[in-house]
Structure 1
Amino acid sequence: MDYRAAGVDVEAGRSFVERIRQSVESTQRPEVLGQLGGFAGCFALPTGYQNPVLVSGTDGVGTKLKIAQAVNVHHTVGIDLVAMCVNDILTLGAEPLFFLDYLATGKLNPEQLAEVVAGIAEGCRQSGCAILGGETAEMPGFYPVGEYDLAGFCVGIVERERILGGSRVELGDIAIALPSQGVHSNGFSLVRKIIETKRLSWSDCPPALGGASLGEIFLTPTRIYVQPILSALRSGVDIHGMAHITGGGLPENLPRCVQEHQGVKIERNAWSIPPLFEWLAQMGDVSEAAMFETFNMGVGFVVIVPPREVESAIAHFQSHHLSAFVLGEVIPGNRNLVIN
């Protein structure tokens, strides 16, 4: 017997590394030291910082992977993986520096996972960070053939005095919403339950959703907000706080960026909820409260600014093709969300 007889294909692993080499190298920054294939990655701190702080984050893609595997489309979930990590550390004002991934599968399919890594590389290029390394685990008997799981890890940097958190947010500050690209990467257990209960297929094309297939719609990748936000910070937009709207939706995530004695009141009529969420609510008979607690409802990221900055902030984001709009304001509270 040998390792191949036990279900692990070493040659496939070597083939996979060669397949992803170009994707990985396309993300490199000047600070990356060494080459792909070592035991660890090395990254020199960028110059120009007086008191730098490293900021780290980790996340996955969740059961959205089940859709990718069902329709055999794998590049978008790689973008999702990066987005979920870099958008999180961005809320502190951090610039993403490097990214590492962990891929686990029952049987290594080099072509399939190379597509995943191509998506990871695209997400890293969008956010300006380098793929510093990763791990691919072939685990026969643990995952079914054709299935895989993903985890991502990101490290960024910010000047200590520029770290954003609740401490800068003031009563009367204004919450500006940046739109999502659909469901992003949260709530997919409910999405899949609705599709299963209604006996729909990922190839179905509901007229109410513009004729695209459900697989295409729900595999739309998470929007990456790094470049517009970093550009705003560098241009002097006075941002007091930020929130990435992920699991738990606006009610859970927006209050995380204010102080203990503050809350946020948002206006329900400030934006039109995209038809996709209305379709999900109707098909699953999901209450509005449950929808807001599960999905982003069309708002992927929120920035908190003083009233005097509202017009310039919105103009900045619109110049980056983001239809930003006033969502609400900071009020006295207990880190709670009030939907008016």
Structure 2
Amino acid sequence: AMCVNDIVVQGAEPLFFLDYFATGKLDNAVATQVISGIGEGCRQAGCALVGGETAEMPGLYSAGEYDLAGFTVGVVEKSKIIDGSAVRPNDTLVALAASGPHSNGYSLVRRILAHTKSDLAANFDGGTLGSALLAPTRIYVKALLALMREIPLHAAAHITGGGLPGNVPRVLPRGTRAVIDSRAWQWPSVFRWLQEGGNVEEMEMYRTFNCGLGMVLVLAPENVEESLRLLTINGEQPMIVGHVEAHDGEPEVVLLK
């Protein structure tokens, strides 16, 4: 999910994925579950799982531990690479809902779990606390490719480590900044639980987690209505969260409260 989301924001269509699975002693049941999950992710992204590497390294990993890595390769016409150069003041920011913390902030999550002595099997928001914290990262590839076939996308930010303040400025040109209205969406309950359980300041939450927004798209105002329609029919939950404005200096995010 992280790999394909990272390249689709540049306009690229993922072609294939390779994985690397390393452990002390191979547990076939665990490996089967992991590879099955990777296969499902590739299906959602429309790319092929063409191979990978499984390594057993006794002494390097404790019992039950494994390391997982991977990479994807995609393709985009050079003239269609999305690099943020088309962004202009008054462009609109449209965000796509996240499925949970995605794949970032788990060092802090573990500290909060240890501090609160929480039971991962406890009931939470219609499921369990564990399932809320470990909800699979949403894959936005097919919806974004469908959008880009119809609408020129000025920029797109995949909200990963660093949250909104760390990722949105990276796709903006110098002389602009993003103004995001934090009242435009509600944090999913898992983020409020993390904030309260860890007594985490709000800005630290924004710097660590996606806080419910997995993608932020930059669109010309005249294309927003049609973009919202296309994203919705392709299964996403889009919302207008702000705009771009002129700014002297390096790109930044201003969060309105």
Distance 2:86 2:50 in 1: 33
Deviations for 1:210-253, whole angstroms, at most 9, x for unmatched residues? 2422221112100000000001111x212111010000100000
Other-structure match for 2:212:
298
Other-structure match for 1:335:
251
Bigger share in strand: 2
Deviations for 1:49-74, whole angstroms, at most 9, x for unmatched residues? xxxxxxxxxxxxxxxxxxxxxxxxxx
Match of 2:49 among 102, 126, 131: 131
Aligned ranges 1:235-250 → 2 under 5 Å: 236-250=150-164
8 Å CA contact 2:188–2:212 kept in 1: the answer is yes
Q: CA deviation at 1:331?
A: 1.4
Match of 2:128 among 199, 213, 225: 213
Q: CA deviation at 1:332?
A: 2.0
- Tell me the amino acid that sits aligned with residue 311 of structure 1: E
Distance 1:210 1:266 in 2: 27
Is 1:273 matched up with 2:187? yes
- Tell me the amino acid that sits aligned with residue 101 of structure 1: D
Other-structure match for 1:180:
98
Q: CA deviation at 1:166?
A: 1.6
Distance 1:321 1:151 in 2: 28
Q: What is the Cα-based RMSD across aligned positions, in Å?
A: 1.0
Other-structure match for 1:318:
232
Q: CA deviation at 1:259?
A: 0.4
**3-state secondary structure, aligned to 1:167:** coil
Distance 2:50 2:235 in 1: 30
Other-structure match for 2:140:
225
Distance 2:45 2:168 in 1: 22
Distance 2:175 2:55 in 1: 46
Distance 1:151 1:296 in 2: 22
Match of 2:3 among 85, 103, 113: 85
Deviations for 1:117-164, whole angstroms, at most 9, x for unmatched residues? 000000001101111211111011000111101111000000111000
Percent identity between the aligned chains? 47
**3-state secondary structure, aligned to 1:314:** helix
- Tell me the amino acid that sits aligned with residue 262 of structure 1: T
Q: CA deviation at 1:116?
A: 0.1
Distance 2:3 2:56 in 1: 24
Distance 1:133 1:168 in 2: 37
Unpaired stretches in structure 2, ≥5 consecutive residues: none
**3-state secondary structure, aligned to 1:278:** helix
Pick 1 or 2: higher relative contact order, CA cutoff 8 A, min separation 6: 2
8 Å CA contact 2:100–2:134 kept in 1: the answer is no
Distance 2:147 2:179 in 1: 24
8 Å CA contact 2:23–2:57 kept in 1: the answer is yes
- Tell me the amino acid that sits aligned with residue 132 of structure 1: V
Other-structure match for 2:223:
309
Is 1:196 matched up with 2:108? no
Distance 2:14 2:206 in 1: 29
8 Å CA contact 2:159–2:215 kept in 1: the answer is yes
Q: CA deviation at 1:201?
A: 2.2
TM-score (norm 1): 0.73
- Kindly tell me the number of residue pairs found equivalent between the two proteins: 254
Q: CA deviation at 1:311?
A: 0.5
Distance 2:112 2:130 in 1: 14
Distance 1:274 1:171 in 2: 30
Distance 2:126 2:198 in 1: 20
- Tell me the amino acid that sits aligned with residue 298 of structure 1: G
**3-state secondary structure, aligned to 1:263:** strand
Other-structure match for 2:64:
146
Distance 1:117 1:163 in 2: 31
Q: CA deviation at 1:274?
A: 1.3
